[in-house]
Chains A and B, each alone.
Chain A
Amino acid sequence: MAIETSVNGKPVTFHVDDDTPLLWALREELRLTGTKFGCGIAACGACSVHVDGEVVRSCSVPVGTVAGKSITTIEGLGTPEAPHALQTAWIAHQVPQCGYCQSGQLMAAAALLSHSPRPTDAQIDAAMTNICRCATYVRIREAIHAVAGTSAGAVA
């Protein structure tokens, strides 16, 4: 069936069964492969995208439920010419190692900053629950603080 949405600002019609996870509609139909498959059960966050500005784990969101909604993926977070401040910080702090989880980490961090522009460590802890097996967590925290203009250990 046809499911009409907006992806990264452009109108998109998905032609897949509506129980198909949004992740696979993005990856296989739109070939937006920046959003990653990690577990399929919303446990790792590699597939994080924004739906109407809220971060969701797209492996567990049936595409049928996002009809009429606005989806942002890592490809729409910024562009090479105008990267999101977090993407710039991720490079400056040399955050990624294997990099596989980093699209999801960035989408989670962007959602955090949109709600809490100056997050405390506790807010970062609560929001950043995506798994990184390379364990780049120290630098993820540093990069978020750098963008927010806050410092580790600071209290709101």
Chain B
Amino acid sequence: MKLHRRYFLIGGAAVVGAGVFSVWWGDKAALSRAKQLTTGPGQSSFAGWLKIANDDTITVYSPHIDFGQGSHTALAQMLADELDADWSRIRVEQAPADYAFGNTALAKLFVPSLAGQPAMKHLPDQVFSLLARNVPLQVTGGSSAIRATGQYGMRVVGAAARLALIDAAADRMGVPKSELVASDSRITHAKTGKVLRYGELAEAAARQDLVSEPQLKTRDRYTFIGKPIDRFDIPAKVNGTAQYGIDFALPQMRVATVIAAPVRGGTLQSVDHAPAMAVKGVEKVIALDNAVVVVASGYWPALKGARALAPKFGDGGHGGLSSASIYAAQGQLIAAGKPDNHYTTGDAAKVLSAPGAKAIRAEYRVPFLHQAAMEPFAMTGYHADGRLEVWGGTQDPIQTRNLLAQFSGLPVDKVTFHPMIMGGGFGRRFPPYTQIIEQIARVAMQVDHPVKIIWSREEDVKQGAYRPQSLGQLQAALDADGRIAAWQTDYAQFADAESETVFPYTVPATARRHYKYISNQVDAYWRSVNSTQHGFYNESFMDELAHHAGQDPYQFRRAHLPAGGRHLAVLDAVAKRSNWGAPLPAGTGRGIALVESFGTICAHVIEAGLKPDGTPQVHKVWAVIDCGTTVNPKNAEAQVQGGVLMGLSTALGEAITITNGAVDQNSFPDYPILKLADAPLVDVHFIESDAPIGGLGEPGLPPAAPALANALFMATGKRIRTLPIARQLA
């Protein structure tokens, strides 16, 4: 997800001109509160994010939640590297959902417009501190943990704390700082043989003001960055002890489930409670504005009770909406020719309409997509003595807490949110559209016991916050040499995707025109966000143009990429690894695609054909990624493998469709997720460089769908322009 345009608006914060700023390190109120929240006797806090105990235990507080991406471990690697810490004593904890743990570093990445202004040169930390602590910002998304929090936060804290420890050691030993060496959580003075442990120095070091711009290591001096260190979270995830939000329980807890208006935007008109109350174990039926909640002794009676109800919901005026009507409306918006946003280089329209120009045109369509995290929404709330406590998982604990306060009517300081690990998220769990936050706040206020709400899978599928359905019309003209002379993209969807989609090719005239289309569905982030549909548009169309030009798709792309650039290096590497150009068996095709997203360049080659039943069979995927530095190569490989296969899953069969304003799908049988038998081998290769570090949770995904469609074109001669592929080639 790209945060800076939308998330900050959702947060409602006015960023600039807010007056007095506190410095990051010098934000004494926040640091003092962080210390109070996390440290006990014998423990010292550094900038809030690092705690060193007298026994040498080192705790790193992560402002990012864990929903599978592995960044807790990688963030600790980055901090420990700069700290010269003993890895065996490192652990990671989730930072509390408190303003003191607003993620300053994240703000720094996502407000480039501020950071880039000369007048702001000496202000950023102050601005970012204000932003992070007051927006407040504790987001996990945008493939940002490593490139923002790790780079601007963890490494800086580690390096600054190390300098403070060295200062403290110099004082204690009475020797010059320059003669001290830090390693393995010890500081050694070689001449005298004196050694002090970090645990012995932490208290004195923590009394110092940290250096705000410490020198960071160069890559040749990394000790933990770049190492395939085992993730901290995995042992508990293989023996059943990991506690997800859905697993939390309190004594006397009740369990509830929800049925919300099937047409998004509709409200609850009436419901007869009696059929649910007649179910053994059901204790209460609660009517919310747009949903009905059944509270029972356990999930099973709650579900039976909910299914016994026949609530009447309005459709909010959206009852006429369907997938077909959305595509039609989007096409009409483009036909009307009044884009809401328009970005150009050169004069594409002139080239395309020049006498004798032969424009090549294609229309692509992609459906709503559901994140389908394996853990359905679940949150536990307990309201007692004027306080509300809630346990669960979201992609922004601080904002979750604020929303809980808003919906419960309690002041924020009477609300505690305990962030827990999540069974996946993929963009579904951003607080503004995580409906269960409002539901648990309202329900907990009306139940005399602790209560856990669990959504059914059907509710999860039908009440989603989807990747938007989008329609793109692309056109281009080739010059006499078969090079692209002009390229124009017209697309209709809610969000302007310009800032999220990098067009890597050198084309003299380009136009990208966005037509804002608003449906009754939430415009949500979905893993890789706008790079999924625009990656599909651009890379499918590149293939079509190569075909028109009579050129090999790989060579055609090469010809449009700057020589010596990172994109070309990634493309060449994936072609080489996949043995591009080698003969293939009959019925098998090879497709290539290149997409940059979240600061990372990724290319895939996919070999695929058709099964006897005419559905696609993916034989193998090669992925090459340049994200600058891979902090943990083993986990980085997993993120890319997972991203590739999730991308294939969407291309093969996933679609949320709408009929009469409501979602048609119910559960996994009609929203099919790729399974192991259809998962090809995914060969992953990273190009390491000194380029700025890029994101990794998302960029592996976008090239998958176009590379597959391009492979199937080579195999069958049929061009896929609408996703999912499903049975189009059968």
Contact = CB atoms under 8 A, between A and B. Distances in A.
Interface string B56-83: 0000000000011110000000000000
A100 B374 contact: yes
Contacts of B280: 17
Q: What 6 A-B pairs come out closest when comparing CB atoms?
A: A34-B240, A100-B423, A99-B237, A98-B68, A135-B645, A97-B68
Interface of A: 16-17, 19-21, 24, 27-28, 31-41, 43-44, 46, 73-75, 77-80, 83, 87, 90-91, 94-103, 106, 124-126, 128-141, 152
Contacts of B371: 133
Contact of A133 (B240, B244, B646, B667): B646
Contact of A94 (B231, B372, B677): B231
28 contacts: A16-B298, A19-B300, A31-B249, A33-B247, A33-B249, A36-B423, A40-B457, A44-B374, A44-B457, A75-B240, A80-B235, A91-B230, A94-B234, A96-B237, A97-B70, A97-B642, A98-B67, A98-B68, A125-B676, A125-B677, A129-B675, A132-B676, A133-B374, A134-B374, A135-B644, A137-B676, A139-B638, A141-B679
Interface in B231-264: 231, 233-244, 246-247, 249, 255
A36 B634 contact: no
B376 to A, nearest CB: 7
Nearest to A153: B681
Nearest to B621: A138
Nearest to B374: A100
B675 to A, nearest CB: 6
Contacts of B674: 135, 137
A37 B676 CA distance: 20
A21 B303 CA distance: 12
Contact of B300 (A21, A44, A126): A21
B641 A138 contact: yes
Contact of A131 (B241, B374, B642): B374
A19 to B, nearest CB: 8
A125 B679 CA distance: 9
B454 interface: yes
Nearest to A43: B668
A41 B457 contact: yes
Contact of B682 (A36, A132, A138): A138
B668 A39 contact: yes
Contacts of B238: 83, 87, 90-91, 95-96, 99, 102, 106
B87 to A, nearest CB: 16
A112 B339 CA distance: 56
Contact of A99 (B230, B423, B454, B457): B423
Contacts of B239: 34, 74-75, 77-80, 83, 87
Contacts of B645: 135, 137-138
Interface centre among B70, B241, B249, B300 (most CB of A within 10 A): B300
A102 B238 CA distance: 6
B237 A102 contact: yes
Nearest to A75: B240
B244 A100 contact: yes
Given A36-B423, A133-B424, A43 B374 contact: no
Interface in B272-303: 280-281, 298-300, 303
Contact of B649 (A44, A77, A135): A135
Contact of B69 (A39, A78, A97, A103): A97
Nearest to B233: A99
Interface of B: 67-70, 230-231, 233-244, 246-247, 249, 255, 280-281, 298-300, 303, 371-376, 421-426, 454, 456-457, 634-635, 638-639, 641-642, 644-646, 649, 667-669, 673-677, 679, 681-682
B240 A32 contact: yes
A17 B642 CA distance: 40
Contacts of A133: 371-374, 424, 426, 646, 673
Nearest to A92: B230
Given A39-B667, A99-B423, A135 B374 contact: no
A100 B425 CA distance: 11
Given A24-B300, A27-B247, A137-B674, 14 more contacts: A19-B300, A28-B249, A32-B240, A35-B240, A36-B375, A40-B457, A91-B234, A94-B638, A96-B234, A98-B422, A125-B676, A126-B677, A137-B675, A140-B676
Given A37-B299, A38-B374, A98-B67, A129 B457 contact: no
B679 A135 contact: yes
A129 B300 CA distance: 25
Contact of B454 (A37, A98, A140): A37
Interface centre among B70, B244, B676 (most CB of A within 10 A): B676
Given A75-B239, A99-B423, A131 B668 contact: yes
Nearest to A34: B240
B175 to A, nearest CB: 43
Contacts of B675: 128-131, 137
Contacts of A20: 298, 300
Contacts of B677: 125-126, 128-129
B424 A43 contact: no
Contact of B68 (A28, A75, A134): A134
Interface centre among B422, B638, B639, B669 (most CB of A within 10 A): B638
Interface centre among B70, B231, B677 (most CB of A within 10 A): B677
Contacts of A135: 641-642, 644-646, 649, 674, 679
Contacts of A46: 374
A17 B300 CA distance: 10
A55 to B, nearest CB: 15
Contacts of B70: 97
A98 to B, nearest CB: 3
A97 B696 CA distance: 14
A127 to B, nearest CB: 9
A18 B557 CA distance: 63
Nearest to A94: B634
Contacts of A140: 676
A37 B460 CA distance: 12
Contact of A34 (B241, B423, B682): B241
Given A43-B668, A98-B67, A91 B235 contact: yes
Contact of A98 (B424, B634, B679): B424
Contacts of A100: 244, 373-375, 422-424
Nearest to A104: B374
A103 B676 CA distance: 16
B299 to A, nearest CB: 5
Contacts of A94: 230-231, 234, 634-635, 638
Nearest to A97: B68
A77 B299 CA distance: 25
Contacts of A134: 68, 374, 424, 642, 646
A108 B67 CA distance: 23
A46 B375 CA distance: 9
A35 B244 CA distance: 11
A129 B425 CA distance: 21
A141 B243 CA distance: 25
Nearest to A28: B298
B395 to A, nearest CB: 13
A141 to B, nearest CB: 7
